[in-house]
Structure 1
Amino acid sequence: MTTGWETVTTTFAKGDKPYGGGAFRVRGNDIISLKTSGPELKFKPARELKDPDVAEFTEAWMDDSSERLNRRTVAFLKGTFNGGLTRTFQQRGQDAAWWYSKDWRTVYVSTGWMDYKAPQPADGLAPQITKLWRSSDGGQNWTQLNWQEDHNIGQLLFLDSLRGYAIGWGPHAWRTADGGQSWHEIKVPPLADVGKPRKTFDAVNLGPDGVLRVAYYVEQLGEVKTSSLIYRLAWDQQDFEPDVVLPNQTVVDLQSSPETTGSYSLYALSRLGAPRNWDDANDKGHRTGALSTWGNSQRPDVHQLHTFDEHLMLDGLSVGQQGALLVYATDATGDGAPRDLTFISKNFGKSWDNLKDGTAQGGYFDPDTNTQYALFAYTLKKRKL
């Protein structure tokens, strides 16, 4: 049962084909969206079918899964609820990341594309071609920036329209101070890049004061064992420094409260214990979940706010104004399809409501207004905490 939702529109992105809302943001009547989608597939009319009981595509390539993946695209759309959405950017890609300024004037988009028809390389790592783009007029016109194509980008995090970070496989972190014209790689914290070549940080956050934090799990680093480490990097620093240690935890998400007047809080959503062992068939990934918090001061104390049942798979976290916290989880232990759940606290984690919202096709939480948006097919709903 959904709780507290208000319907905004029943025709969200209905005119853009193929179907999908993508990642989107709403401000009044205005909308921007970043969407990855496959090519539009068309079927022959009944009179042209060889077998009237078997559907046929109009073109042979549509029946090739690798070709469909190769023809996926990344699109940026803008518009209004009344006037619909228009694509102002489209490039080939199966993956994308974006960042936009508060006034939506400056937008960065990265695209990642793999050739699924190419022979499998010896190391099993198909090359990904990454490109980076910037708009200075709200997404109407775009400029491609210089970027080394073999450097994947998974996240774009900016302090303002000129200063920011790109985070990618390895993991790697790069910094720009000139709007993406040039980038400087930053050395990652100890053992963060040990393991698979396409390893990622478990979580990344850019605080309201411009401090970048990264979370990752280590078996052992000095006297620290089986813990998640949080390292921090201020804009004027060249090297990461330790922030906090979360013993016997694997971080799922890391968020900061949106206060901009000095002090603010950090929140880590974690699974207690070591990461899931995918080579062990008996390890189903079930772990007790935990939500912890600390302040942005030097050498802060960490407090565990809440734990979640181990049958839940924790998916993400949002933090809003005045103690609003949202934890997103999936319950796949019962019969039938997995159930999406949202746990909401309005008092800094002291008490929680469990809302069974059903499966949405997209959505986000606006921390500045404490408003949650969710898309169910073409129906966009919102609720304010």
Structure 2
Amino acid sequence: MRWRWLAGLMVAIVAVGYVAGGSGMWDRVSNDFMKEDKPYGAGDFRIRDGQVLSMKLTNPEITFKPREERSDPNRAEPSEPWMSNVGEFANRRSVRILGGSLEGEITRRFEEPAQRADWWLAPDWSTLYLTTGWSDRAAELPPGKSYRPELTQLFKSTDQGQEWERLRWPEDQNITFLRFIDAQRGYLIGWGPRVWRTRDGGEHWDELPVPEDSRNPENPRQQFDLVALGQDNVLRMAFYDHAADVSRIHALPWGEDISQQAFTIPGHVVMDIAANIEGNVYVLATQGAPYFSLPAEEREAPRPSVVWSWNDDSLHKLHEFPPELKGYALYLTPSDGLLFDGVNESTLLGNDVVAVSYDGGGSWKIQDEGRSAQGGYYDVHTGTRWRVEGYSLYQREIP
């Protein structure tokens, strides 16, 4: 049975055009990328004209006592008591903004205690927004509550993170995602779910209604499955309706206050949405109900990734990938291609995989990019894909 399964997988992959060879497709750019910032990690970085900006969520550094100072010489012992306390360790997590150049030094420009964060960087790097969330993980839960209160903050920089302004924002209102059209216009999305909009660069925020079915009275921290802002300036919100066994996708064009259901996808969970200027919508979805809502015995069943299209009139299933190729993101390339970004889970360590289509999703060329990287991203404006492995930075072009 194992060999039959492997043969079936190979046939499926070959059918859409499999291209092996992870290392040969990459050009090495740097051998010591982000090496000086400890602990190790490149963060969610961006590169433009040789300059680097990165948003990095990081754990505190752990140090150990010299052998002669340990209570047991044969066991490693942290230097300070808090290093062994899970709650205190979490309290010392932080978010950093780092900046510099590929040819020179990359340094910390901002740091704030945080266990969660999101950011938005303008394409021309003129403006940067950052939101942080922090809760006291060492404190007892409040009576009758399942969660500790979280402190939320919102920051803005107009000089690539050198100086920061803390914007007015209620500390008890979570912000999970930032979605901006430009430096002045954008949305915040938080638990509930809730949506806020600004027209003036974050000076004022108006809360907008969300689809009633997206809320769960038993879970005040309910979130959308996916929130995406398309090239057509339409905010799309996806959530799974368990009663109907469908994902509902609502659309909110800029300037309107109330979203409308655009379409549904039966029996799939939305992973990503990409939309071009004309409003053609492409959806990456995973077959089945949300993973954690499934009974334990059903969680290991195959869950193929599927790409769909919506043209404001009808929904079309473009392609279903082998179950071993798990998709996480979907992009529109500068030459109007579709780029599927995922992982091949049939490999020992999980190789990174992309698939590209230049005929609207009819045929796909699958490429093995090598073992899973420690960081990277795809630049939809330039068609450059970046990858970090160890301290090495690589790039390739996917136009």
Q: Structure 1-normalised TM-score?
A: 0.91
What is residue 343 of structure 1 aligned with on the other side?
355
Shift in Å, 1:351: 2.1
* Structure 1: stretches of 5+ with no match in the other structure: none
* Structure 2: stretches of 5+ with no match in the other structure: 1-20
Show the 5 A alignment for 1:25-64: 25-64=46-85
Shift in Å, 1:127: 1.5
When structure 1 is superposed on structure 2, of 8-17 and 195-204 the one drifting more is 195-204
Code of the residue aligned with 1:252 in structure 2: it is: M
2:150 is the counterpart of 1:114:
no
What is residue 242 of structure 2 aligned with on the other side?
219
What is residue 150 of structure 1 aligned with on the other side?
172
What is residue 68 of structure 1 aligned with on the other side?
89
What is residue 201 of structure 1 aligned with on the other side?
224
2:340 to 327, 332, 335: 327
Residues 31, 81 of structure 1: 8 Å contact kept: yes
Query: Partners in 2 of 1:357 and 1:152 — Cα distance?
Result: 37
More helix by share: 2
Shift in Å, 1:344: 3.2
Residues 232, 275 of structure 2: 8 Å contact kept: no
Residues 373, 383 of structure 1: 8 Å contact kept: yes
Q: 1:234 to 1:326 in 2, by over 3 A?
A: same
Q: 1:351 to 1:341 in 2, by over 3 A?
A: closer
Shift in Å, 1:339: 4.0
Residues 96, 109 of structure 2: 8 Å contact kept: yes
What is residue 296 of structure 2 aligned with on the other side?
281
Residues 252, 316 of structure 1: 8 Å contact kept: yes
What is residue 392 of structure 2 aligned with on the other side?
379
Residues 130, 153 of structure 1: 8 Å contact kept: yes
SS of the equivalent of 2:331 reads strand
Residues 282, 309 of structure 2: 8 Å contact kept: yes
Query: Partners in 1 of 2:388 and 2:356 — Cα distance?
Result: 18
2:367 to 347, 354, 364: 354
1:252 to 271, 296, 299: 271
Q: CA RMSD in A?
A: 1.9
Q: 1:43 to 1:219 in 2, by over 3 A?
A: closer
Shift in Å, 1:276: 2.7
Query: Partners in 2 of 1:273 and 1:31 — Cα distance?
Result: 39
Code of the residue aligned with 2:306 in structure 1: it is: A
Residues 309, 316 of structure 2: 8 Å contact kept: yes
Show the 5 A alignment for 1:303-314: 303-314=316-327
Shift in Å, 1:325: 2.6
Shift in Å, 1:318: 2.4
Residues 342, 357 of structure 1: 8 Å contact kept: no
Q: 1:205 to 1:246 in 2, by over 3 A?
A: same
SS of the equivalent of 1:380 reads strand
Query: Partners in 2 of 1:134 and 1:277 — Cα distance?
Result: 35
What is residue 24 of structure 1 aligned with on the other side?
45
Structure with greater contact order relative to length (CA < 8 Å, sep ≥ 6): 2
Shift in Å, 1:140: 0.9
Residues 325, 353 of structure 2: 8 Å contact kept: no
Query: Partners in 2 of 1:97 and 1:266 — Cα distance?
Result: 24
SS of the equivalent of 2:335 reads helix
Amino-acid identity (%): 37
When structure 1 is superposed on structure 2, of 352-361 and 74-83 the one drifting more is 352-361
2:270 is the counterpart of 1:268:
no
Q: 1:256 to 1:279 in 2, by over 3 A?
A: closer
SS of the equivalent of 2:327 reads strand
Q: Structure 2-normalised TM-score?
A: 0.88
What is residue 93 of structure 1 aligned with on the other side?
114
